Amino acid sequence: MSDARSIAEAVRSGETAASEVVDSSLAVIAEREGEIHAFNIVLADEARAAAEAIDRRVAAGEDPGPLAGVPVALKDNICTRGIPTTCSSRILEGWCPPYDATVATRLAEAGAVLVGKTNMDEFAMGSSTENSAFGPTCNPRDTTKVPGGSSGGSAAAVAAGFTPLALGSDTGGSIRQPAALCGVVGAKPTYGFVSRYGLIAFASSLDQIGPLATSVADAALLLDVVGGHDAADSTSIPEAHASLAGVLGEGVSGLRVGVIDELSGEGVAPDVLHRTGEAAEALSAAGAKVEEVSVPATTYGLSAYYLIAPAEASSNLARYDGVRYGLRVDAASTPEMNEATRTAGFGDEVKRRIMLGTYALSAGYYDAYYGKAQKVRTLIIRDFATAYESYDLLLSPTSPTTAFALAEKTDDPLTMYMNDVCTIPSNLAGQPAISVPFGTGDDGLPVGVQVLAPALGEAAMFRAAAVLEEAAP
């Protein structure tokens, strides 16, 4: 399957039928989905009907939009009207939202065709897409390895050529880390850049929807379509943003780039560090001024995140009570029914984080844990602000290692959490970051490098990402 821009141009001009594009996408899915399990549901009939409607519009001389006929996949925590949205959890099994998320509406208005909802770590809690109630997703580059998480299904769908574009959500690295492990482009925009209306909440102050794509240009195109103000989301940024697709050729000449010391040392594999060093050299060769920079508080990012995110999750997930929607396990009394429903409906990792978060918010521990974590978050924001006084962009690895084996880390939550050490700081600060594939590690599997930018610095970030993509080994 070719890139999204080429598909859309061919469909809009009448050179290719959207129906042919969708049939081709569904054929690739039929061939490999059995071994990869990227999807929780494939919407073959709905996708064909949507493609036929686009072909009729083209035949009538209409322009269906910038993503005309392009197959897309949505992470299964993004609401789709009348289509099951499960968060890969038993507790939402069979629930069909009565409305569409804003991003789903914007995709449809741009002419994109939804072909399925992708597998994920349950309620987006995980780094490997092994915490799904519907079984793990495998990495298309090597099916014995994880695709990363929690947007592993979306990353795998793009890497396998099922769809050229997918949307994921990123709370602590859940777009960028799987993008790195699967060898695709994944971006987390500034908090508020993309509407969260219709995104099922994990940690509301951290969650952000963003694109996964095979190229930087396609990621920019998708972000241009779904980004922008939405009155339905009170945290949505009111200012309009300039087209990101329009800045990709501007290069990095004159930009100042800092390579983050704290994210380029202990715990990061030598082959990943080697590629990050090569990426720094590539930016320097393209005219950027590249130096090492210290952002001290990033070393506390992991600790702060694993108090703040579970605390917000324990509050957000209280709505799954067996009363209003989703699973209900009957019992003699309401409290017993609540307990039985949650015991049956939530998986181990979700229960672990709910308990951790409830403890951190409980009387007597609030100031010691949650309050202190929020102070650390402020330190991280300040340290980034200091760094951005001297640098336009920052650089780091995306993930400390290449893709690891399925079941390798499932018994050790702490080792699993370490996968997010490079990505979490951007979420805590509400700032954008993008992972770009940059060669392979010693095992032949993809390595991703991460470009970080200050809030609303997406334009410069995408310019650097395009340079890195061009220079990638």
Closest to 191 (Cα-Cα) out of 177, 203, 209: 209
pLDDT in tens, 439-454: 999 999 999 999 999 9
Q: What is the pLDDT of residue 333?
A: 96
pLDDT in tens, 118-143: 999 999 999 999 999 999 999 999 99
- 324: pLDDT strictly greater than 90: no
Distance (Å, whole) CA 193 – CA 203: 16
- 2: pLDDT strictly greater than 90: no
Chain centroid to CA 173: how far?
7
Distance (Å, whole) CA 421 – CA 425: 8
Catalytic residue list: 75, 150, 174
Confirm if 269 and 441 have CB atoms less than 8 A apart: yes
Other beta carbons less than 10 A from residue 176's beta carbon: 33
- 282: pLDDT strictly greater than 80: yes
Chain centroid to CA 170: how far?
4
Other beta carbons less than 10 A from residue 369's beta carbon: 18
Q: What is the pLDDT of residue 414?
A: 85
In the chain, the amino acid numbered 294 is: S
Q: Name the region of 253 (left: φ>0; alpha: ψ -120 to 50; beta: rest).
A: beta
- 413: pLDDT strictly greater than 70: yes
Confirm if 271 and 442 have CB atoms less than 8 A apart: yes
Give the chain's domains with CATH numbers.
4-246 (3.90.1300.10), 249-299+375-471 (3.90.1300.10), 303-367 (no CATH)
CA torsion angle 70 146 215 392 (round to 10): 130
pLDDT in tens, 382-407: 999 999 999 999 999 999 999 999 99
Report strand pairing: 256-260 vs 393-397: parallel
Alpha helices by DSSP H, listed for 326-368, are 334-345, 348-361
